[in-house]
Structure 1
Amino acid sequence: MSHPSAEQRPSVTPQWAVASPHRTASDAAADVFRSGGNAVDAALAAAVTLTVVYPNQCSLGGDVMALIGAPDGHVHAVNGSGRSPRASDVARLGPTVGGMPVYGPFTVTVPGAVAAWHDIADRYGTLSLAPTLLAAAELAGGGVEVAPGLARDLEREESRLLADDGMRAVFTRHGSTLRSGSLLEQVNLARSLTLLAEGGAEAFYDGPVGKSLVRRLRQLGSAMSAEDLASHRTSFDDASSAVYAGHELVSGPPGSQGIFFLEGMAALEVVRERLGHDLDPLGDDAGVIAAVLSAAAQDRDRLLGDPDSSPLDIDSLLGRRARTVAESALLGDPSPRRTQPTRATGDTVAVVAADGAGTWVSLIQSNFHAFGSGILDESSGIVLHNRGASFVLDPSSPNVYAGGRRPAHTLMPVLVRRSDSWTGAHGTMGGRAQPQIHTQLALHLAAGRTSVEAVTNPRFVLGPTEPGAGDPSPRAAVKVEADLPGEARDALAGAGFDLAEIPAHDDGAGHSQLVRRNGTTLEAASDPRADGAARTHAG
């Protein structure tokens, strides 16, 4: 494998910042910074640690997408998502299936996280990944305290966890799931992490770890094969961008819903110019913002699929289509709106990091839904994601289920730059609502709010939250946190949306992580909706 030039792998200055949704992961990243690692090394340390402390949200059996911003301003878009088994077909799902399953063996695509970690480390890091994997193995084997966020998902998903032998063995005691503060021991996962430290990604894709996963999936009826794993490759692609209020927002890679976040931001730039002021999601602008978000979400559901078989016309989306969306939103439509049905908020983690030498990272990894497919391979200790639940069975859709395809993907890292210099790394949990949450973050920051304000301010999120849920209302439901101001609520209702209140700082509104340059200082903020922490060092 080729390695980057010295310009791409700079030595690290003492200044750094990182944020993640779990304190232990943020501390692991900080330790790597103190050991001389760059932002890439630190982000990977947090990412690996999160698979131990937040196995509900991410695992070795999931996917990764990332953006790496180099000091020279170049951006590297990393697609660590996998394909459906090549032998997959609709007939295997059974004759009575009414739609793509949400859970179970048929929703498991080839996990891309492990390959992506190693490829990112090899290309852009400065340290070996092996010590990070061994540290995570020690953590898994010795046990970690169940954090409140994990405990909530354990309680919510108890019946599903009790139904799987592997899940039951790890996450339950005496017939009930572990509670907050309990000790979670993952001895077999520790063994798998050690094998990866010793054998690299090959131990997963062409070695004992992968063989165990394939064996378990085939026992359950999946078409997954050893060849499917062995043929997996991380993709390195171009990112796309849109400008709002002088800030260039970068997202991707192809196959990610990030392009539809950019469509929305391009549309909101048109709205901003027409109205003559920066838009505020906490005030009278909430209605037009939500109208733009709704239109972009419908475009995503109509157009997004495997970029190899269904490439997007990105120039059209960010140009002509964005202007059309803006014009429609500005006209205002008080008639009832309907959003496309959504599966879930998604269980995802975001890690963002930056260093004083100018490397910036936004890395997102996920099981898709809480505990993914509901399958934990006992031998390896690995939770398997359910990313294949994103597929649809409509043969006319670009996201139709078929063998060897990547499903439309919710993971969407975001970087921000201004005047050719990196100024921000953003990431959020939120499944299909990630573009909406990213939009509100970007609008807060563009309006002059602080990093802490951006991640803590009340939010609204379009669409239902539960897996497999449709829209039972004749009008599109918008979840609003209890502390969302009245001006925003009135604007949303006036734009034709029904409101459904959720508690303030509810994890159903996603949890975000943010690193930002403020003058010559790096600052970081972690969303109070999770169990995270921001760590910084001024040098």
Structure 2
Amino acid sequence: MRYVWAVLVGVLLAGSAFGYDRIAGKKFAGRSEVIAEHGMACTSHPLATQAAVDILQKGGSAVDAAIAANACLGLMEPTGSGIGGDLFAIVWDAKTKRLYGLNASGRSPKSLTLEYFGENGIEDIPAFGPLPVSVPGCVDGWFELHDRFGKLDMEDVLKPAIGYAREGFPVTEVIAYYWGHNAKILEEYAGFAEVFMPGGKAPEEGEIFRNPYLADTLEKIAEGGRDVFYEGEIARKIAEYMEEQGGFLSYEDLASHESEWVEPVSVNYRGYDVWELPPNGQGIAALQMLQVLEGYELAEYGFGSSEYLHLLIEAKKLAFEDRAKFYSDPAFNDLPVAELISDEYAVKRRGLIDMDKAADAYPAGNFAEHGDTVYLTTADEAGNMVSLIQSNYRGMGSGMTPGKLGFVLQDRGELFSLDEGHYNCYAPGKRPFHTIIPGFVTKDGEPWMGFGVMGGAMQPQGHVQVLVNMIDFGMGLQEAGDAPRMRHGGSSQPTGEEMADGGVVYLESGFDDATVEGLKAKGHMIESSRGGYGGYQAIRRDAENGVYHGASESRKDGQAGGY
């Protein structure tokens, strides 16, 4: 028996020596994929995932489950979401066998003009307070989705979130960390501490948190529909609060808000059709990067090689140059989306890459590098799938917390430019450039995967890395998300030396020394960072076996679940 045990240990150690950390041979997977036949939900909080699965088991659609999960996340993960923010979604409808895109982002206040900033000596829109607040689009997005694809009554869909808001839930580890960080910044704003700092402090890991104000608000929304939020009692309370705080968001801004159904756009990457939503979001940056990378045999270089990472970084720089110039509200500009994601344009951009030398970092505009978001994906027994992303921006948003409503208003307006003539220049009633992007993949006209990666400018970079991990490097759904990531940014911490023109490459732990030295030899400035690499969820449809595979990465508190 001792001999058998010794042999087994030897085999496992030998496997580890070759880089395989698990019996299944998955080098990077921190956990197994979840596999279920009837339905699946993957979110960044276990209780939200369980709520979504419960909705599916009660006969709800994938959209019902997504709304239920999003409502729970707005309560349980206010560090990245809430009904004071915006929403985007891509839905695969099994009945019509096509994708539908929803842009539920809000617009700037109509009474706030570009001249106001100049007259008051404001060179950049501030991150917090009343000025960056735009119309919250989340609730309207819920009802647009529900009206088209929902099955259960909205009262049933919002019931789990209402129950947790009133009865309480234990705060999880990662969320507790970010909650404390946000609270230090936002506690000075009226109403914030009353809702989010019970007893004068942010809740700690394991502590039970309740939000009875939010429970009341969600009950009113469930009973009165979206109009109670945009034209009724809640809208009036928001407008009154904003006026008291010297803000510009008005009742009229809320009452005139509407979401927009849009056509997702795609490129084919090695036989897979990758879908994103068009601007004002940054989804097409991922498509532009994939178009450039398809011209190289990445599988030959291998995951984690300096050659592959160099190409990834250079493709990102090229896409983000266009991001800085063009990505904005299409209602105010004629955007060349088809050209930017075309094969012909990719050939031209590919010709600018030098395999041996890092290029200068192209301008990032005024678009922030970081952001906190929630991404979730759901699938039901009928074959419907949802890819949904939702955010306040900058974690818990602007700090503007309307009295006794239980949520913070977003600060998405910070992302407007104040440079007159810029595509993304501030204007009344305009949607700002947006960082949050849901992703979807089809193959041969059938759904293959709903997926997303959270986190500001990391999102398109994360989308590309996950897809390349799966398609080029043969990783599974969970492993593709858990594998170490790269993030290229346009700024660095002050070191006493001028930053390299090529920006900064941040590497997560897991890349070897040879890779780092290889990148440095090409002229890249390398820094390590524990955070800022996003948070990934995904569901893959296995048509051959008739099951769903779910993944939720270990960088967050989340969970994949199904039945």
With normalisation by structure 2, the TM-score equals 0.87
Look up the match of 1:510: 534
2:164 pairs with one of 139, 144, 158: 139
Q: Hey, what's the Cα distance between the residues in 1 that align with 2:541 and 2:515?
A: 29
Deviations, residues 22-56 of structure 1 (Å, cap 9, x unaligned): 10110011101111112221111111110110111
2:193 pairs with one of 156, 160, 168: 168
Q: Measure how far apart 1:344 and its partner are.
A: 4.0
User: Are 2:501 and 1:477 aligned?
Assistant: no
How many pairs does the alignment contain?
A: 517
- Paired AA for residue 240 in structure 2: R
- Paired AA for residue 116 in structure 2: R
Q: Hey, what's the Cα distance between the residues in 2 that align with 1:217 and 1:353?
A: 35
Look up the match of 2:98: 74
Q: Measure how far apart 1:17 and its partner are.
A: 1.7
- Contact conserved, 1:288 with 1:495, CA < 8 A, in 2? no
User: Are 2:474 and 1:451 aligned?
Assistant: no
Look up the match of 1:7: none
CA 1:118–1:488 in structure 2 vs 1: closer, same or farther (change >3 Å)?
Answer: farther
User: Are 2:116 and 1:89 aligned?
Assistant: no
SS at match of 1:534: strand
Q: Hey, what's the Cα distance between the residues in 2 that align with 1:404 and 1:488?
A: 47
Look up the match of 2:561: 535
Q: Hey, what's the Cα distance between the residues in 2 that align with 1:461 and 1:230?
A: 40
SS at match of 2:481: helix
Give matches, 1:373-384, under 5 Å.
Answer: 373-384=398-409
Please list every run of 5 or more consecutive structure 1 residues that lacks an aligned counterpart in the other structure. 1-12
Look up the match of 2:29: none
Q: Measure how far apart 1:206 and its partner are.
A: 0.5
- Contact conserved, 1:335 with 1:495, CA < 8 A, in 2? no
Say which is worse superposed, 482-491 or 197-206, in terms of deviation.
Answer: 482-491
Q: Hey, what's the Cα distance between the residues in 2 that align with 1:496 and 1:172?
A: 46
User: Are 2:431 and 1:419 aligned?
Assistant: no
User: Are 2:290 and 1:268 aligned?
Assistant: no
- Paired AA for residue 288 in structure 1: L
Look up the match of 1:354: 379
User: Are 2:59 and 1:43 aligned?
Assistant: no
1:310 pairs with one of 317, 323, 333: 333
Look up the match of 1:333: 357
SS at match of 1:43: helix
User: Are 2:232 and 1:198 aligned?
Assistant: no
- Paired AA for residue 61 in structure 1: G
Q: Hey, what's the Cα distance between the residues in 2 that align with 1:179 and 1:330?
A: 49
User: Are 2:55 and 1:32 aligned?
Assistant: yes
Deviations, residues 340-372 of structure 1 (Å, cap 9, x unaligned): 265242111001122342212100000111111
User: Are 2:324 and 1:301 aligned?
Assistant: yes
Q: Hey, what's the Cα distance between the residues in 2 that align with 1:99 and 1:136?
A: 37
Q: Measure how far apart 1:177 and its partner are.
A: 2.3
With normalisation by structure 1, the TM-score equals 0.91
CA 1:314–1:90 in structure 2 vs 1: closer, same or farther (change >3 Å)?
Answer: closer
Of all paired residues, the percent bearing the same amino acid is 30
1:226 pairs with one of 233, 251, 255: 251
- Paired AA for residue 316 in structure 2: L
CA 1:191–1:233 in structure 2 vs 1: closer, same or farther (change >3 Å)?
Answer: same
Q: Measure how far apart 1:403 and its partner are.
A: 0.3
Q: Hey, what's the Cα distance between the residues in 1 that align with 2:105 and 2:301?
A: 36
- Contact conserved, 1:57 with 1:371, CA < 8 A, in 2? yes
- Paired AA for residue 83 in structure 1: R
CA 1:200–1:279 in structure 2 vs 1: closer, same or farther (change >3 Å)?
Answer: farther
- Paired AA for residue 363 in structure 1: L
SS at match of 1:383: coil
Look up the match of 1:9: none
Q: Hey, what's the Cα distance between the residues in 2 that align with 1:222 and 1:172?
A: 23
User: Are 2:431 and 1:410 aligned?
Assistant: no
- Paired AA for residue 49 in structure 1: C
User: Are 2:393 and 1:371 aligned?
Assistant: no
Q: Measure how far apart 1:487 and its partner are.
A: 4.7
Q: Measure how far apart 1:154 and its partner are.
A: 2.2
- Paired AA for residue 499 in structure 1: I
Q: Hey, what's the Cα distance between the residues in 2 that align with 1:107 and 1:73?
A: 39
Q: Hey, what's the Cα distance between the residues in 2 that align with 1:185 and 1:348?
A: 21
Q: Hey, what's the Cα distance between the residues in 1 that align with 2:334 and 2:232?
A: 33
Q: Measure how far apart 1:95 and its partner are.
A: 1.7
Q: RMSD of aligned C-alpha atoms? A: 2.2
1:208 pairs with one of 221, 233, 237: 233
Look up the match of 1:321: 345
SS at match of 1:106: coil
Say which is worse superposed, 157-166 or 14-23, in terms of deviation.
Answer: 157-166
Say which is worse superposed, 41-50 or 281-290, in terms of deviation.
Answer: 281-290
- Paired AA for residue 516 in structure 1: R
Q: Measure how far apart 1:498 and its partner are.
A: 1.1
- Paired AA for residue 151 in structure 1: A
CA 1:431–1:333 in structure 2 vs 1: closer, same or farther (change >3 Å)?
Answer: same
User: Are 2:550 and 1:524 aligned?
Assistant: yes
Q: Measure how far apart 1:176 and its partner are.
A: 3.1
CA 1:47–1:276 in structure 2 vs 1: closer, same or farther (change >3 Å)?
Answer: closer
User: Are 2:540 and 1:492 aligned?
Assistant: no
- Paired AA for residue 231 in structure 2: D
Larger Rg: 2
Q: Hey, what's the Cα distance between the residues in 2 that align with 1:182 and 1:465?
A: 36
2:487 pairs with one of 440, 445, 461: 461
Q: Hey, what's the Cα distance between the residues in 2 that align with 1:373 and 1:230?
A: 21
- Contact conserved, 2:79 with 2:182, CA < 8 A, in 1? no
CA 1:173–1:188 in structure 2 vs 1: closer, same or farther (change >3 Å)?
Answer: closer
Q: Measure how far apart 1:310 and its partner are.
A: 1.3
